[in-house]
Structure 1
Amino acid sequence: MIEAVGLTKRYGDKTAVYNLSFQVRPGAVTGFLGPNGSGKSTTMRMILGLDNPTAGHVTIGGYPYRRLPNAPRQVGALLDAKAVHGGRSARNHLLSLAQLSGIPARRVDEVLGVVGLHQVAGRRSKGFSLGMGQRLGIAAALLGDPQVLLFDEPVNGLDPEGILWVRNLMKSLAAEGRTVFVSSHLMSEMALTADHLIVIGRGQLLADMSVKDFISANSADFARVRTPDTEPQQREKLSAAITEAGGHVLPEQDGALRVTGLPLPRISDIAHDTGVRLWELSPHQASLEEAYMRMTQGAVDYRSTTDQKAGLQQPLPPDVQPPMPVPGQGQPGWYAPPPPQQGGQPFTVPQGAPQAPAGPYGAPGAPAANPYAQAAPQAPQAPAAPPAAPPTAPTASDVTKPEDAR
């Protein structure tokens, strides 16, 4: 389990992440979404101990990454697939990582087979395509058979077959009780892969809920109703009855009706009671992409002139920037951790966490939520939090972009 509490990161006068709190639970694929420059890469770097937070803390299984015993065998990550010595072959690259972490050499060939690079294992990585480099990066993340996995844009450069393979891989890893945290800009893939979403904008939390709840909270569900085209009076009759029952009816260009405010069974009953035949009665919901665009349109820092002409919302000037909204608060699946306290402790791991199957290097039945309990029975005291962050949220001009944060 990954837990972030009050996470803040500043680079000089620039704020990349501001008071960010969330949990990534085992047994599910958690998608990490946000516009360019929202702080996703910075957050992942803080999780892995590559950057120190200015305030707050983040733990994996209850411990900071740097205090995990043999961390590469506990946590696997893909942040930059190009971080490979081009003169080394795929096998030698993985073999060097395995030797540094005390992983048996036989595991190298296992993961090469998993990612489909076994036939090119002897080729130098500088000759690899973008997709092959991604597969090699995924192999490195899987090398230690870890319980916690982080992937930043894992399908970048992959063909459709490769994208499907990554999707199935993420789901299978989560089904084994592992913690899987995936950052991506492909909404269609997140809709098919993720079970839960964490959405940030300008370094702040926008949503932390299931995919279904996220779409419902950021779109208007409606029912599409169609009556026989040759009987317009039937449509008018049904429209009046639905309005009388408390529904809202809007005509569509093809003659159908868009109904909101009533469930489908109720609409069917009204049509039956009024003697109106239906040609269509179907539920409609926005896609994840539409819901995401609606939520984050005010947190996008770069707009083309074409967007301006189309009337898309622009970021407000820094002096009038409102606090970020938090859609979905109070709905099922909403999670709001307490604010960080001076000298506070990480969250305790809930009892009854799902059990992960034993890997080739792990003890059987190790709890997926805290696979490090036996190796480090005493949780170290968390360092005292720095002075509280200013009450005002960072403005658009204060937020660093990924290329700056890296």
Structure 2
Amino acid sequence: MIEAVGLTKRYGDKTAVYNLSFQVRPGAVTGFLGPNGSGKSTTMRMILGLDNPTAGQVTIGGYPYRRLPNAARQVGALLDAKAVHGGRSARNHLLSLAQLSGIPARRVDEVLGVVGLQDVAKKRSKGFSLGMGQRLGIAAALLGDPQVLLFDEPVNGLDPEGIHWVRNLMKALAAEGRTVFVSSHLMSEMALTADHLIVIGRGQLLADMSVTDFISANSADFARVRTPDSEPQQREKLSAALTEAGGHVLPEQDGALRVTGLPLPRISDIAHGTDVRLWELSPHQASLEEAYMRMTQGAVDYRSTIDQKEGLQQPLPPGAQPPMPVPGQGQPGWYAPPPPQQGGAPFPGPPQGAPGGAPGQAPAGPYGAPGGHGGAPSAPGAPVPGTPNPYAQPGPQAAPGQAPAAAPPAPQSAPRPAPQPDAAPAQPAATPSAPAAPTADLTKPEDAR
């Protein structure tokens, strides 16, 4: 049996454990729970004599650990599975521990088989996975066949099969009359493994009771009652009867009733007395995790806050929002597809380096006028203000004989006034960087050729 009386440990101004008293009895798996920084590891180190308490004492079988004769044969512990020389094989690591404690070598092979490492016994531990390291640490704790066992996060890194194996191992050891003390953060696993719980927070004892009592003391048990969905009046009738009998009734979203303050037999009798049919009458209890969260919510030192990264970006004043960038716009070779034809089929895009059509003229063929390239080549880059761009973002196509529709305004400019119906299209301005080609006069013989 492990017994702590007034156990206190201070590190300078920091009090890790304060006036902690509890007992870990044999024949049961005792879970040791608490938030990060609550003093669990410090308590286990003081139990094993690795840290000296500032005040109080802790004993194993009535003696401090350091005064136990051949302590390795009476107490087994797993505190840090990585505390292994990486150059040693699994078997040599256990063999060295056995020789130091006077344990026969045959016991090494036995525990390797118990933890399932017999096939990798000759491999160096530095190549072990996290789960394999945990198994090796458990093997070291079992090496001396001790009556008292302490495990700190024994299922860390294990797969589901390994977790199931550890759970059954803990229960089997306790069934043999051994003292099993297990620290873990997996509430779901503790609910399946532990018989008794010791919960601490900020170095002080919060609870020392069975798992069942702990859940009942830190949660509100209730009964779930459901009546036929097609008869809502029956639900209202039962709710009024339960309230009159002293129960507290809350409707749930799916139409069921949550009843507290009345045992299930009493609820059944009331339903029978009011001639209400029941589709469901079941007890509900909070999980160990929910009860633990309620118990320790005031003893958590490390809490998450809302992400404040949005505060790093100062909002721009109204009207100064930058326009959404167009990928590649303004870069050499940037291309925006022309508007579709009236028939709905889009024009194919020009290849790299192909000259575009004349400014303000919609291309009539694949790359320009029928039978060849029309117009002067245009320089790459943004279009000149006031010049219609045949490769601007798609817009409505003007019907023949009508004035072309105005181009959409730029993001930062004020909206342009809509053109008058009879207004002629603006003449395109000359591009400074690309002079326009001279206009051909077909009346002259040399140009007619």
Bin of the TM-score, shorter chain as denominator length: 0.7 to 0.9
Do the aligned partners of 2:4 and 2:58 also contact (CA within 8 Å) in 1? yes
Question: What RMSD over aligned residues (CA atoms) do the two structures have, in Å?
Answer: 34.1
Superposed CA offset, 1:256-305 (max 9, x none): 00000000010001001110000000000000000001111111111111
Q: Is the 8 A contact 2:338 2:392 kept in 1?
A: no
Report if aligned partners of 1:214, 1:291 keep a CA contact under 8 Å in 2.
yes
The structural deviation recorded for 1:351 is 103
Q: Distance in 2 between matches of 1:16 and 1:316?
A: 48
Residues 343 and 77 of structure 1: is their aligned pair in 2 closer, same or farther, counting only changes over 3 Å? farther
3-state DSSP of counterpart to 1:234: helix
Q: CA deviation at 1:370?
A: 95
The DSSP-based 3-state class of the residue aligned with 1:66 is helix
1:393 aligns with 2:434: yes
Q: 1:313 to 1:222 in 2, by over 3 A?
A: farther
Rg (Cα) greater in structure: 2
Structure 1 residues 61 and 104, CA gap change in structure 2 (3 angstroms): same
Q: Unpaired runs of 5+ in structure 1?
A: none
* Paired residue secondary structure (2:20): strand
Q: How far apart are residue 329 of structure 1 and its match? A: 72
Distance 2:341 2:129 in 1: 47
Number of residues of Structure 1 aligned to a counterpart in Structure 2: 405
8 Å contact from structure 2 (residues 442, 448) kept in 1: no
Q: Is 1:99 equivalent to 2:99 in the alignment?
A: yes
Q: Give me the whole-angstrom Cα distance separating, in 2, the residues matched to 1:351 and 1:4.
A: 89
String of CA shifts for 1:187-220, please: whole Å, max 9, x gaps: 0000000000000000000000000000000000
Checking the alignment, whether the CA contact within 8 Å between 2:338 and 2:390 is kept in structure 1 is no
Cα 1:238–1:399 change in 2 (3 A) is: farther
1:358-404 Cα distance to aligned partner (Å, 9 max, x none): 99999999999999999999999999999999999999999999999
Hey, what's the Cα distance between the residues in 2 that align with 1:214 and 1:297? Answer: 15
Deviation at 1:15, TM superposition (A): 0.3
Give the fraction of aligned pairs with identical amino acids, expressed as a percent.
Answer: 92
Contact 2:338–2:391 (Cα < 8 Å) also in 1? no
Deviations 1:93-134, CA, capped at 9 Å, x for gaps: 000000000000000000000000000000000000000000
Aligned counterpart, 1:352: 357
| 1:163 Cα deviation from its structure 2 partner | 0.2
Compute the TM-score of the two structures, normalised by the length of structure 1.
Answer: 0.76
- Find the counterpart in structure 2 of residue 120 from structure 1: 120
Q: CA deviation at 1:74?
A: 0.1
CA contact (8 A) 1:356 1:367 kept: no
Secondary structure of the structure 1 residue equivalent to 2:312: coil
For residues 145-192 of structure 1, give each alpha carbon's deviation from its aligned partner in whole angstroms, at most 9, with x where no partner exists: 000000000000000000000000000000000000000000000000
Task: Decide whether aligned partners of structure 1 residues 197 and 142 sit closer, same or farther in structure 2, where only a CA change above 3 A counts.
Answer: same
Match of 2:297, SS?
Answer: helix
CA contact (8 A) 2:30 2:182 kept: yes
Whether 1:142 and 2:142 are equivalent positions in the alignment is: yes
In structure 1, C-alpha distance between the alignment counterparts of 2:149 and 2:176, rounded to whole Å: 12
Call closer, same or farther: CA 1:331–1:399 in 2, change over 3 Å. farther
How far apart are 1:36 and its partner, in Å? Answer: 0.2
Q: Indicate conservation of the 8 Å contact 2:227/2:235, yes or no.
A: yes
Quote how far apart the aligned CAs of 1:306 are: 3.5
Q: Could you say if the C-alpha distance between residues 345 and 167 of structure 1 is closer, same or farther in structure 2, counting changes exceeding 3 Å?
A: farther
Greater helix content: 1
Distance 1:332 1:216, change over 3 A: farther
SS of 2:329's partner is: coil
Work out whether residues 200 and 206 of structure 1, in 8 Å CA contact, stay in contact via their aligned partners in 2.
yes
Change (3 A) 1:8 1:314: farther
Question: Does the CA-based 8 Å contact 1:78-1:152 persist in structure 2?
Answer: yes
Distance verdict in 2 for CA 1:270–1:182, change over 3 Å: same
Note the alpha carbon deviations across 1:284-339, whole angstroms, 9 max, x for none.
00000000011111111111113999999999999999999999999999999999
Higher mean C-alpha deviation, range 235-244 or range 378-387? 378-387
SS in 1 for 2:188: helix
Q: Is the contact made by 2:338 and 2:394 (CA closer than 8 Å) also made in structure 1? A: no
Partner of 2:149, secondary structure, is strand
Query: For the Cα contact (< 8 Å) 1:7–1:57, is it kept in 2?
Result: yes
Matches of 1:302 and 1:34, distance apart in 2:
13
Poorly superposed stretches of 4+, deviation over 4 Å: 307-347, 349-406
Distance 1:90 1:99 in 2: 14
Larger RCO (CA under 8 A, 6+ residues apart):
1
Say whether 1:373 aligns with 2:392. Answer: yes
Q: 1:34 to 1:82 in 2, by over 3 A?
A: same
The alignment partner of 2:283 has SS state of strand
**Matched residues in 2 for 1:269 and 1:373: separation?**
79
Distance 1:134 1:18 in 2: 30
Q: 1:340 to 1:180 in 2, by over 3 A?
A: farther
- Secondary structure of the residue aligned to 1:9 is strand
Structure 2: 5+ residue stretches without partners: 348-353, 368-380, 411-429
